Every structure is written in structure tokens, then in C-alpha cells.
């Protein structure tokens, strides 16, 4: 029975995994090249910002410690999870530079280890990377053989920032790629112990797991784009309402309702880059992956399309407030955020833009310094706005009242990507523009001639 585990890389995912495993009774040694992360964990604090992480580390301090030494971690545990960055390169593939460095240290540590050990790669990689990019480093540095001397698994996680710990402890399933059954058995044992929801474990080859991980994200983004396309359709149909249509689609068990709420594009640190990377892989292998490219293009073009489509609601030279700059509510992450892209596209189209976000403002300020003013004060953002675009369902936006928006002015336009401000529709002072709803029956004029 495995009792001692190590976690290499104490970032947004690794830090939460270390805490989560300690909370389930395992002894955890965390490793990071960043001294601050190591010191934070040893002081019982969170190495990064994530919901509940600090509290969980503090509550499990007797079972979790951190070090700068990979060797200490390997010698003191039976299984090591590697969660270091795999950033995208200019081709859209995931680079292995950090993983190679970590695997070199792991190989050197394995050389000194007497017993069997399992290395588990959790970082997102493309098919073939584990077997051909990383395994040779372990064998070369350790002088040992994968199989008899150590095992290697690819075991990515499906988590969302903001709920990493909950998602890690309650996954839909564990995706487990294994070099051989012995390695997979030991990793499955850890999951059975850690899972709070008795999640099933899907075991397979390293390559199938690598493809499955990235395919999940890619598939979800296709659902999002599909729903966004439906939203567009609904705006052109009498009485069209994307939520009604999506609710119906969601009833079909083959489809399901999740990620089908039409509105704005997808963003964040995983979805867009996973799509691009899988398409890159398709190109390399001679697979027609144009579906992925089309989806990526569709998503990247969404801000510009909205600005063109909403010409009538966006008078030239208007002051425009964009509420929501993070890629989702309750997040400070602006990576590939549709809100950021929207601000840039509006600025390029000649609008004066002020962006607001409760958590992401400091990060967005740098990213948007050439295109928009950024504030974390909602009042400041609304002060001079002629048009307000609401890009996330943050509670401070969904609670906005007509008086708060108007601030004594006679009229204002509100463009609502998620239909979360429907209570404003009845107010004659508000020009309310919901995305995904048909608001003007003449907009449906294109339908009738098709049938007469």
C-alpha cells in the first residue's frame, strides 16, 4: 500500500494536488525550483492563489513538506507526480523544456534509489512526448530500465482554476496511461485512496491517454463554439432564444447540457492552446484536423464579429465599458481571455474603452495598456460609458440596476453576452441588447422569403 508520494512542481495544479493527497492521509513531499513555493508550503501556506489551498495545507501540515531536492523526494516516496509547465511554442506544440529538466533530476535520483519507483507525468503533453521525449531521459540518467526497475505513467487531470482541489478529489474519471500494468496498478491504488467520489479509472497506453486528455478539452471547446453559433441563429429567428434551444439539446443524453450556453468565446490557459496543439499534431501526422482549426478561427474571430454585428448599438466614438476581463468569473486569469480580446478589437475599431474586473484588473492593465483604461472600480468604469458590454456572469454585474448603470444620465446601451441582466429589458431608459435572443422581429425577415 503506497503511503508516501512526491509532487514535482508546486504551481496551480501541483500545489493543489499535493494538498489534496495530504488531505486524504498520504504523506507528501513537494518539490519546486522556486524557493518561495517551497518556503510557503513549509510554513503551512499556499504557494499559489487557489480556492481553499492555504487552508488545506495548513490543516494537513503534519503530512506535507517541501524541498528543493528532487533526490530527497524520490528517495522518500514510492511514486512521483510531475506537474511542471509545458508552455506552447511558436508552432502551437507544447514544449518539454521544463519537463526534460525535471526528468533529468528524476533520472539522477532514480539511479540512487534501491527499490521500484513510479514516475507519473501530469503536465499536458502531446502524443508520443512521454515515451519518446521523456522516458529516454529517465533511462539514460538512471542507467535503469523502464518496466523492471521503474514505471512511467501519463495521468493528466481535468480541473478548472478556482475549483482545482474539488475537481482533483472528485473527477469524472481518472485517465491513466501506463508503461506497463505494474506501474498502472500502483497509480490506480493512489487514486482509489485519494478519490472522494470513487471515480472510475480508465487505463490505457501512454499514447492513447495523451490523445484522450487533449481531445476532451478540444471536444468541449467545439460544444462552446457550437452553442455560440446557435446563439447567432436564434437572433435571426422569430422568438429565437438560445437558452431554450440549448436546454432542449441538453436533454439528449448523447449531448448533455454542460458548456452549451451560447454567449461569448472560450479562453484561459488550457482550452485554446490544447485545440491549437492537437491541430499541430494533426498536421505532423497527416491527419485532417481542419475541424480544430475551424473551431479555433471561429473562436478567435468572435470579438470582431460581434463588433460588426452590433454596429447599430455601438455608435462611432462611443465610450465603451467592458465588464469582465478574466476568462471567467471569480478568476484573475486573463490568458487568452475573450474580454481582453474584445477590448483590443473595440479600441482598434476606434472606441474609447474602459475595462473593469474585480480580480483581474492589475493583470489586465498591463495587457491592455495600448488599448484601454482598466479599473477595479465598477463606478469608475460606468461613469462615462455610453455602452456597457457584460462579458462574464460575475455577481457584481448580474446585480446591476438601471439606476446604477445610468448614474443620472437619460439612457445607456447594455450588451449582455450571457442574458444575465434580463431585468433591465423593461426599463425604457436602457437599450438592452441580449446576445442569443431575437430582439427585433424584423431581424427575422430573412426567414420568410425562403418559404414563400
Ligand X SMILES: NC(=O)c1ccc[n+]([C@@H]2O[C@H](COP(=O)([O-])OP(=O)(O)OC[C@H]3O[C@@H](n4cnc5c(N)ncnc54)[C@H](O)[C@@H]3O)[C@@H](O)[C@H]2O)c1
Positions marked active-site: 270
> Smallest distance, Å, CB 170 to ligand X?
15
Taking CB positions, which residue lies at the least distance from ligand X?
A: 11
Residue 356 sits in the site that holds ligand X (CB under 6 A): no
Residue 10 sits in the site that holds ligand X (CB under 6 A): yes
Q: What cell does 164 get?
A: 482545482
Please calculate the CA angle 78-76-82 and round it to the nearest 5 degrees.
60
- Residue placing its CB nearer to ligand X in the complex, 101 or 116: 101
Residue 50 sits in the site that holds ligand X (CB under 6 A): no
- Residue placing its CB nearer to ligand X in the complex, 17 or 245: 17
Among 64, 83, 278, 320, binds ligand X (CB under 6 A): 83
Segment interacting with ligand X (CB under 6 A) among 33-41, 195-203, 236-244, 301-309: 33-41
Among 33, 216, 220, 443, binds ligand X (CB under 6 A): 33
Residue 302 sits in the site that holds ligand X (CB under 6 A): no
Segment interacting with ligand X (CB under 6 A) among 11-19, 135-143, 193-201, 404-412: 11-19
Binding track over 231-270 against ligand X, x by CB under 6 A: --------------------------------------xx
Residue 218 sits in the site that holds ligand X (CB under 6 A): no
> Smallest distance, Å, CB 99 to ligand X?
8
- Residue placing its CB nearer to ligand X in the complex, 124 or 142: 124
> Smallest distance, Å, CB 247 to ligand X?
28
Residue 31 sits in the site that holds ligand X (CB under 6 A): yes
Query: Which residues in 152-191 contact ligand X (CB under 6 A)?
Result: 157, 159, 161
Residue 13 sits in the site that holds ligand X (CB under 6 A): yes
Residue 76 sits in the site that holds ligand X (CB under 6 A): no
Residue 84 sits in the site that holds ligand X (CB under 6 A): yes
> Smallest distance, Å, CB 135 to ligand X?
17
Residue 130 sits in the site that holds ligand X (CB under 6 A): no
SS3 per-residue string spanning the chain: CCCEEEEECCCCCHHHHHHHHHHCCCEEEEECCCHHHHHHHHCCCCCCCCCCHHHHHHHCHHHEEEECCHHHHHHCCCEEEECCCCCECCCCCECCHHHHHHHHHHHHHHHHCCCCEEEEECCCCCCCHHHHHHHHHHHHHHCCCECCCEEEEECCCCCCCCCHHHHHHCCCCEEEEECCHHHHHHHHHHHHHHCCCCCCEEEECHHHHHHHHHHHHHHHHHHHHHHHHHHHHHHCCCCCEHHHHHHHHHHCCCCCCCCCCCCCCCCCCCHHHHHHHHHHHHHHHCCCCHHHHHHHHHHHCHHHHHHHHCHHHCCCCCEEEEECCCCCCCCCCCCCCHHHHHHHHHHHCCCEEEEECCCCHHHHHHHCCCCCEEECCHHHHHCCCCEEEECCCCHHHHCCCHHHHHCCCCCEEEEECCCCCHHHCCCCCEEEEECCECCCHHHHHHCHHHCC
> Smallest distance, Å, CB 436 to ligand X?
27
Residue 137 sits in the site that holds ligand X (CB under 6 A): no
Site size for ligand X (CB under 6 A): 27
Query: Under the rule (CB under 6 A), what is the footprint of ligand X?
Result: 8-14, 31-34, 37, 48, 83-86, 98, 101-102, 123-124, 157, 159, 161, 269-270
Amino acid at each position: 500500500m503506497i503511503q508516501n508520494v512526491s509532487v514535482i512542481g508546486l504551481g496551480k495544479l501541483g500545489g493543489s494536488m499535493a494538498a489534496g493527497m495530504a488531505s486524504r492521509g498520504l504523506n507528501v513531499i513537494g518539490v519546486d525550483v522556486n524557493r518561495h513555493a517551497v518556503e510557503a508550503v513549509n510554513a503551512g501556506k499556499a504557494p499559489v492563489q487557489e480556492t481553499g489551498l492555504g487552508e488545506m495545507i495548513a490543516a494537513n501540515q503534519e503530512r506535507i513538506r517541501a524541498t528543493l531536492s528532487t533526490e530527497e523526494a524520490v528517495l522518500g516516496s514510492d511514486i512521483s507526480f510531475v506537474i511542471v509547465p509545458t508552455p506552447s511554442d511558436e508552432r502551437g506544440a507544447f514544449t518539454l523544456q521544463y519537463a526534460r529538466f525535471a526528468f533529468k533530476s528524476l533520472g539522477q535520483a532514480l539511479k540512487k534509489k534501491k527499490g521500484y519507483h513510479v514516475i507519473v507525468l501530469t503536465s499536458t503533453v502531446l502524443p508520443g512526448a512521454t515515451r519518446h521525449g521523456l522516458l529516454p531521459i529517465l533511462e539514460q540518467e538512471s542507467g535503469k530500465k523502464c518496466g523492471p526497475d521503474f514505471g512511467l505513467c501519463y495521468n493528466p487531470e481535468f480541473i478548472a482554476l478556482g475549483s482545482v482541489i474539488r475537481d482533483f478529489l472528485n473527477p469524472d474519471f481518472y485517465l491513466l496511461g501506463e508503461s506497463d500494468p505494474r506501474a498502472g496498478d500502483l497509480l490506480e491504488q493512489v487514486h482509489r485512496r485519494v478519490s472522494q467520489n470513487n471515480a472510475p479509472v480508465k487505463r490505457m497506453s501512454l499514447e492513447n491517454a495523451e490523445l484522450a486528455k487533449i481531445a476532451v478539452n478540444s471536444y468541449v471547446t467545439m460544444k462552446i463554439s457550437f452553442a455560440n453559433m446557435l446563439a447567432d441563429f436564434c437572433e435571426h429567428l422569430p422568438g429565437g432564444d438560445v437558452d431554450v434551444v440549448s436546454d432542449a439539446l441538453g436533454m439528449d443524453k448523447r449531448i448533455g447540457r454542460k458548456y452549451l450556453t451560447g454567449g461569448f468565446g472560450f479562453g484561459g490557459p488550457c482550452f485554446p492552446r490544447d485545440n491549437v496543439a492537437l491541430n499541430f499534431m494533426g498536421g505532423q501526422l497527416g491527419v485532417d484536423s481542419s475541424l480544430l482549426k475551424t473551431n479555433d478561427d471561429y473562436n478567435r474571430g468572435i470579438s470582431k464579429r460581434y463588433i460588426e454585428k452590433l454596429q447599430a448599438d455601438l455608435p462611432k466614438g462611443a465610450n465603451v465599458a467592458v465588464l469582465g476581463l478574466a476568462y471567467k468569473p471569480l478568476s484573475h486569469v486573463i490568458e487568452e481571455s475573450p474580454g481582453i480580446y474584445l477590448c483590443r478589437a473595440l479600441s482598434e475599431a476606434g472606441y474609447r474603452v474602459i475595462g473593469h474586473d474585480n480580480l483581474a484588473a492589475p493583470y489586465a492593465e498591463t495587457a491592455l495598456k495600448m488599448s484601454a483604461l482598466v479599473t477595479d472600480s465598477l463606478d469608475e468604469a460606468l461613469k462615462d460609458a455610453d455602452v456597457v458590454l457584460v462579458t462574464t456572469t460575475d455577481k457584481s454585474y448580474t446585480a446591476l440596476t438601471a439606476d446604477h448603470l445610468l448614474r443620472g444620465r437619460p439612457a445607456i446601451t447594455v450588451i449582455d453576452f450571457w442574458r444575465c441582466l434580463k431585468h433591465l429589458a423593461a426599463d425604457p431608459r436602457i437599450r438592452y441588447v441580449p446576445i442569443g435572443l431575437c430582439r427585433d422581429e424584423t431581424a427575422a425577415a430573412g426567414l420568410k422569403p425562403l418559404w414563400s
